[in-house]
Amino acid sequence: MFGKRTKNYEIVRIFLNMPALKKTETVLITGGSSGIGFALAKEFASRGYKLILVSNQKEQLHIAAEKLQNKYSTETHTLFLNLALPEAAAELFNWCQTNQLQVDVLVNNAGVFFFGEVVKNDIKKIETILSLHVNTPAMLCRLFGEEMKQRRSGNIIIISSLAAYMPYPGIAFYAATKRFLKSFACSLRTEMIDYNVNVTCVCPGAVSTDLYDLSAAGHKKALKMGIMMRPEKLARKIVRAMNRHTSILIPGFINRVFLPFLFIIPHGLITLVRRYSKLLPPDQS
């Protein structure tokens, strides 16, 4: 009887050009308690997705989940986890398995940023950025990607950065690890496309989040000038890009116009800027 009703619905749906019935999908967002991750959580929740938010910000994670449940009445799961730990990806995957949570959309978003010379950066910070931007996202794609391949469906979103095109002094670790994510995403996309699994890489410029040590006035000015983008606007663009199966998203008109010039700037000029600017002056000691 149920099968007959379903068939009848399909006939009516096609005749009236109605959308197909679709099960509620679940999105897992790393770094989902703040910044781009929280903006993505709100965007997915507004579209009816169930949420799995993972973060090392325990209090913010609880607050974020409460806000999302109150506003969107969406099923929200949270996991307090330091994603920079070597075993983090396996622990997260096993937790989802134990709780019988199928991940339909994997968003690798968690990250950090710091500025300074390579030889002066704190070793713990270096280990953290390498884990968050390289080891953990690669292993999450390996583990959850295998399930998606078997189901012949799924989406993977990898948040890289415009810095992936910018091997500049002061951001050596950030730019290099974001370039890894971009390269990895492109390769993974080619491998997964025949299994009906989409991989979208996002390379945003500056986004108005707490990632940067910038005052409220500075954020406001950067937004007005178009140098920065609001995370909510970026989140909408990311979800649209995923639904369109876009390979690489570089959001923002200024970023797309500016990008070709990054390839023709002589590195000697960058050296001069580094040498004579106050951003990263050479150590004279």
pLDDT of residue 218: 53
Q: What mean pLDDT do residues 6-27 have?
A: 56
Say whether pLDDT at 236 is over 70.
yes
Say whether pLDDT at 260 is over 90.
no
Domain residue spans in the chain?
22-276
Enter the pTM of the model.
0.84
- Alpha-carbon distance of 71 to 60, in angstroms, equals 16
Q: What is the pLDDT of residues 132-144, one digit of tens each?
A: 999 999 999 999 9
Q: What mean pLDDT do residues 226-248 have?
A: 91
Say whether pLDDT at 214 is over 70.
no
CATH superfamily for domain 22-276:
NAD(P)-binding Rossmann-like Domain (3.40.50.720)
pLDDT of residue 224: 53
Top pLDDT among 40 and 169 is at 40
What percentage of the chain carries pLDDT values higher than 90? 68
Comparing C-alpha atoms, which of 61, 156, 177 is closest to residue 111?
177
Say whether pLDDT at 7 is over 50.
no
Say whether pLDDT at 194 is over 90.
yes
pLDDT of residue 227: 61
Say whether pLDDT at 148 is over 70.
yes
Say whether pLDDT at 225 is over 60.
no
Q: What mean pLDDT do residues 86-107 have?
A: 98
Residues 156 and 200: beta-carbon distance below 8 Å? yes
Top pLDDT among 5 and 270 is at 270
Between vectors from CA 43 to CA 180 and to CA 136, what angle results, nearest 5°? 30
**Confidence label for 103 from pLDDT (cuts 50, 70 and 90):** very high
**Confidence label for 205 from pLDDT (cuts 50, 70 and 90):** confident
In the chain, the DSSP E strands lie at 26-30, 50-55, 76-80, 105-108, 154-159, 197-202, 206-207, 228-229, 248-249
**Confidence label for 33 from pLDDT (cuts 50, 70 and 90):** very high
Dihedral sign computed on CA atoms, order 194, 198, 204, 209: negative
